[in-house]
Structure 1
Amino acid sequence: MTTSPGSEDAQAPTADEIDDLARRAQAGDRDALEDLLAAVRPRALSVCRGVLPHSADAEDACQEALLNVAGKIGSWGGRGRFTTWLHVVALNSARSTYRRLKNQAFASDVLPAERPDPRTTSVIAGTRLDLLEAMETLEREHPQMVEPLLLRDVYGLPYEEIAALLGAPTGTVKAQIHHGRKLVRPLLRGDA
């Protein structure tokens, strides 16, 4: 690997190096797992920050994602890049953290009139609350469309990579994304 502990000028490991660490970690190499978690933490945090703009929330989601990676490393199939699988794990952790925080907020003593409108709050505060609310709505009605839509439109993964990750034909993934966009668009504009 091109990184060395304590090196100020250490470079991030390449995708091939990360895949190699992941394979070794799957085989039970604890040191490889530790190195893998350290190598992918910045990427996982970046994904979480893309969904949760408050640093402490993103850090919590990143920690959850890394725990999930450590506990579920065996579920990475090895067909695609480990970093693509990591995106999904981190994205799911961020969404889970958002749901938990949302439920805590609604369970608190905040009066309904004091709760901010997510559509206006997102514009003012620069958060992604409107997107997260739209994804929550889409997930209730069409759960199969959420993951492909987020991977394509938020994280910019290519259709082929999403298809490989989800184990679905590329045409199916494209159709899910197209239909998901049509359903989410009015939610983001506040037409719903």
Structure 2
Amino acid sequence: MSYSGDPGDALAPDDIDDLARRARDGDRDALETLLAAVRPRVLNICRGVLPYSGDAEDACQEAMLNVATKIGSWGARGRFTTWLHIVSVNSARTTYRRLKNLATPTDFEDGAHDRPDPRTTSVIAGTRLDLLEAMDTIEKDHPQYVEPLLLRDVYGLPYDEIATLVDAPLGTVKAQIHHGRKLARPLLRGER
């Protein structure tokens, strides 16, 4: 097994899992090869959440750093790429939150601040800001629903794989997704 760094030379899932196990066990060369192999995938995941290339690149860098420093937390119960998905999505969401917090509202003559409505902005810009806002809102009171909901409805992972990944019974995961959807629907329709 060798990887040249060219996205066309993608490794098979078993090869990625093998590299991840070796990297988790301290093999620095395996870690470098793994990072080069998964970077295109991580960037695509981040682009799926953040519409602007520079923002997606920032999130990708954060995700790659998290993979390198936290690979020991991958339990090897499921595919490494499933764990990688969660790390990447969380990095993209963190980048979004950081950018949102750094945004400066526009000042008007009367001193009022005007923040763009993410529900309207997302429709115009074609982004997923409405989804990110909904997930942030749900996460405040019901954090247990966000990860399973994103993994199922955004990334299309099967229920059993999500259950393994979040270490919860299959029925619990299905219920969390169902309840998460019920909470998300009105937010995505603008019924805050």
The bucket for the TM-score relative to the shorter chain is: over 0.9
Give per-residue Cα distances to partners, 1:113-138, cap 9 Å, x unaligned. 54221111111110011000000000
How many matched pairs? 188
Partner of 1:104: 102
Which residues in structure 2 correspond to 1:55-66 (within 5 Å)?
55-66=53-64
Partner of 1:38: 36
8 Å CA contact 1:2, 1:12 repeated in 2: no
Which residues in structure 2 correspond to 1:88-167 (within 5 Å)?
88-105=86-103, 108=104, 110-111=106-107, 114-167=114-167
| Counterpart residue identity of residue 124, structure 2 | I
The CA deviation at 1:27 is 1.4
Unmatched runs of 5 consecutive residues or more in structure 1: none
8 Å CA contact 1:80, 1:164 repeated in 2: yes
CA distance in 2, matches of 1:159, 1:32: 30
Moved over 6 A (4+): none
Question: Which residue of the other structure, out of 70, 81, 86, is the alignment partner of 2:68?
Answer: 70
| Counterpart residue identity of residue 129, structure 2 | L
8 Å CA contact 2:105, 2:115 repeated in 1: no
8 Å CA contact 1:61, 1:90 repeated in 2: yes
Q: Alpha carbon RMSD of aligned pairs, Å?
A: 1.4
| Counterpart residue identity of residue 83, structure 2 | W
Give per-residue Cα distances to partners, 1:9-66, cap 9 Å, x unaligned. 8420011110010011011111100000011111111111111011000000000000
1:187 aligns with 2:178: no
The CA deviation at 1:157 is 0.4
